[in-house]
Amino acid sequence: MKRASIKDIAKLAGVSVATVSYVLNKKEGSRIGEATREKILEIAETINYIPNKMARSLKTNKSKLIGLIVADISNDFYSGMARYIEDEAMKLGYTLLIGSSDENPAKFKKLTELFSEQQVDGMIIAPVMDSDETVQKLINDQFPVVTVDRYLTHTAVAGVRVNNDEVSEEVCRFLAGKKFKEIAYVGYDTRLPHLLDRQQGFEQQSEKEKVQIQKILVGLDNIAGEVHQGLDLYFQNSNNRKAVYFSSNKLAVAGLAYFIQKNIRVPEDVSVIAFDETDAYSLFPVEIDYIQQPLDEMAKTAVQLLDDQINGQPSRKSMIFPARLIHKKSVQ
């Protein structure tokens, strides 16, 4: 079907398209006579007029679309984040385009291009490894961009994230205070800065605390398998009291599943702290100590930073939010 246009309304009302446009956009000046105004509104209603935002965008150069690129929208963490971003974006009148990069720089780049072509007003992105060049290009084009969760070391771009290093230090101090002498750090084998921060914050603090760290770094292809392998080693290698710091909720779920399978009790046999929460913890026999990111505030800030840029206030500031270590019952 052919959709009704402003032109159809104009014809039916016997006025010009300009007049129709003015009343539909309810310009405050209210320069249009009340009679014609009502007539136009009525006609628009009856012929079920739906404005074409693309035509509008073409003229105004604002699409009211924003693109969100996450690693994987089916991942708990990102779908939660996406929801907060969606809500905030809607409030400001934006609609959300979503794409998953799968940690693949080529796909990430493709997504930025796709979104650019669709004329999004800006993008909120969780950049993957080796995507610096892609992001730099957006920045060079003065394209509004805000990073979430992750950040780039070689590219100045607005972003929101938590104090990954500091909160990892806190975890280390806390466990050292519980007299653990050899702690396993379960993380990804990665160059992503925010994950390195988690790892390095933990490592650096461990030196001060005279605590040994056993690193278990896994690839993305076989997370559960490699976590299990790594924990096998950790549990065989020494007789010290055991504690494990999982640097993501996915890793934690893999590790906790291992403990169940091996009948390793938490916290009697091993103390546990995890980065990020997930519903899954509620089914574990013991409440898990975890690090909580203020996702709602971060999402809100990300959208607002983006909106500011879109409205011509260029900004490259990084907002760093405090993550909190929530104490439950998985450390003793």
Partner DNA sequence: CTGAAAGCGCTTACAG
196 vs 260 by CB, closer to its own copies: 260
Region binding DNA by CB under 7 A among candidate stretches 53-61, 158-166, 186-194, 277-285: 53-61
- What is the DSSP secondary-structure string of 82-126? HHHHHHHHHHTT-EEEEEE-TT-HHHHHHHHHHHHHTT-SEEEE-
CA distance 240 to 221: 31
Find the binder of DNA among 41, 45, 46, 59 (CB under 7 A). 59
Least distance from its own copies to the Cβ atom of residue 111, Å: 9
Position 142 contacts DNA (CB under 7 A): no
CA distance 77 to 71: 10
Assigned token pair, 287: 């409440």
Sign of CA dihedral 172, 174, 179, 180: negative
Region binding DNA by CB under 7 A among candidate stretches 27-35, 102-110, 264-272, 310-318: 27-35
Least distance from DNA to the Cβ atom of residue 86, Å: 24
Position 24 contacts DNA (CB under 7 A): yes
Q: Residue 5 binds what, of DNA, its own copies, none (CB under 5 to 8 Å, by partner type)? A: DNA
Find the binder of DNA among 22, 143, 188, 246 (CB under 7 A). 22
Least distance from its own copies to the Cβ atom of residue 216, Å: 19
Determine the 3-state secondary structure of 180 from DSSP.
coil
Spacing of C-alpha 192 from chain mean position: 14
Region binding DNA by CB under 7 A among candidate stretches 45-53, 130-138, 202-210, 236-244: 45-53
Position 51 contacts DNA (CB under 7 A): yes
Find the binder of DNA among 26, 42, 58, 133 (CB under 7 A). 58
Find the binder of DNA among 2, 236, 283, 312 (CB under 7 A). 2
Least distance from its own copies to the Cβ atom of residue 281, Å: 7
Q: Residue 178 binds what, of its own copies, DNA, none (CB under 5 to 8 Å, by partner type)? A: none
Tokens 């739906």 belong to residue: 50
Q: Residue 233 binds what, of its own copies, DNA, none (CB under 5 to 8 Å, by partner type)? A: none
Find the binder of DNA among 11, 55, 92, 208 (CB under 7 A). 55
Angle between helices 6-13 and 17-24 (to 10 degrees): 110
Applying CB under 8 A, which residues contact its own copies?
A: 1, 3, 48, 50-55, 57-58, 63, 65, 72-76, 79-80, 82-83, 86, 90, 95-100, 113-119, 141-142, 253, 256-257, 260, 278-285
Least distance from its own copies to the Cβ atom of residue 135, Å: 15
Angle between helices 34-46 and 17-24 (to 10 degrees): 90
10 vs 299 by CB, closer to DNA: 10
Q: Residue 114 binds what, of DNA, its own copies, none (CB under 5 to 8 Å, by partner type)? A: its own copies
Long-range contacts of 320-323 (CB under 8 A, 24+ apart): 320/160, 320/161, 320/162, 320/163, 321/160, 321/161, 321/162, 321/163, 321/293, 321/294, 321/297, 322/162, 322/163, 322/166, 322/167, 322/294, 323/162, 323/163, 323/164, 323/167, 323/291, 323/292, 323/293, 323/294
Residue 229, classified by CB atoms within 10 Å of its CB into exposed (0-12), middle (13-18) or buried (19+), is middle
Asked whether the beta carbons of 302 and 148 are under 8 A apart, the reply is yes
Chain positions contacting DNA, by CB under 7 A: 2-3, 5-7, 14-19, 21-22, 24-25, 30-33, 35-37, 49-52, 55-56, 58-61
